[in-house]
Amino acid sequence: MNAQLLISGVIFGLSLGGIFFLMSIGLSLCFGLMRVITLDQLLYYSIGAYLTYTIGLLTGDVWLGIIGGVIVAAMSSFLVERVVFRRIYERDLAFSMITSFGVLIGGVGVIKYFWGLIPRPVPAPIAAQVNILGTDVPSYRLVIIGVAMLVYLGIWIFLNRTIIGKAIRAGTEDSGHVEGLGINVYRLFTITFIIAGALSGLAGGLYAPLIMVDPQMGLEVLAFVFMVVIIGGLGSIKGTLISSLLVGQVVSLGSLIYAPLAQMAPFAVMLLILLIKPTGLFGSTLQKR
């Protein structure tokens, strides 16, 4: 394997890791605060991608499409939280998992109804190439890495430096106590849900120019999102970042060696890590209340 291939492989892996981070951070945030598993994040991911396609087609500006995708994804996650999740916060874990899965599958049906079955291409907003160490790299991939880093920083500042963020962090530890302080925990739940949905929409919008947008796209990345979340540890933001970068590299470099490895290698890594540490790298020991 020559150096050029390796460098482009690493950059590819980093941008893939950034996308994985944005995709799975919503699931991780929601589990951390509310102890529900929200597979419907993958629906907001598809919604973000589809709106990027449609708005990009209508206005000719993909960036505008990504912004629109984020907004609509956030709105639909707000709707789902109000209509569905409000009723199952108190229930067993199986309920949130199946209900969110139902929302995801039903959402795929809705997408098929509106946009049809045909995969749609989205043009890349930046076509320029950047030269890094003698290798030409598409600068759009660098943009993705940058956005993912900014989002991580933003979440960190939000959770550690703002009063709402501090309340959310306190809620993950002991929601009864936070309620006792006169803070409306359900409002915190809603805020977290909207943030999670918006980030999933952002992942879809950013990823859309690199792949074809099709109705099954949410289900296709399902396995990767699980692996990222499990390797990093449910509910840990730092863990999600590290494991998404790890899985991105494993997928990218694995597919350079032998193409089918891209699907299987992260699974092997996950089993290995679970063998050593059953709660993932940074998993909390908190149980469902």
Q: Which of 219, 255, 256, 269 binds other proteins (CB under 8 A)?
A: 219
* Residue in 88, 149, 164, 191 binding other proteins, rule: CB under 8 A: 88
CB of 101 to other proteins, least distance (A): 5
234 binds other proteins (CB under 8 A): yes
Contact call for residue 222 and other proteins (CB under 8 A): yes
Asked if 275 is part of the footprint of other proteins (rule: CB under 8 A), the reply reads yes
**Nearer Cβ to other proteins (2/285):** 285
Number of residues that bind other proteins (CB under 8 A): 47
Q: What is the DSSP string of the chain?
A: --HHHHHHHHHHHHHHHHHHHHHHHHHHHHHHHH----TTHHHHHHHHHHHHHHHHHHHS-HHHHHHHHHHHHHHHHHHHHHHTGGGTTTS-HHHHHHHHHHHHHHHHHHHHHHH-SS-EE---S---EEEETTEEEEHHHHHHHHHHHHHHHHHHHHHHHSHHHHHHHHHHH-HHHHHHTT--HHHHHHHHHHHHHHHHHHHHHHHGGGSEE-TTHHHHTHHHHHHHHHHH-TT-HHHHHHHHHHHHHHHHHHHHH-TTHHHHHHHHHHHHHHHH-TT-SS---PPP-
Residue 13 or 107: which CB sits closer to other proteins? Answer: 107
29 forms part of the interface with other proteins (CB under 8 A): no
Q: Is 105 in the site for other proteins (CB under 8 A)?
A: yes
The residue within the footprint of other proteins, chosen from 58, 60, 61, 106 (CB under 8 A), is 106
Asked if 37 touches other proteins (CB under 8 A), the answer is yes
Residue number with CB closer to other proteins (104 or 241): 104
Residues that bind other proteins (CB under 8 A): 31, 37, 84, 87-88, 91-95, 97-99, 101-110, 112-113, 219, 222-223, 226-227, 229-230, 234, 260, 263-264, 267, 270-271, 274-275, 278-280, 283, 287-288
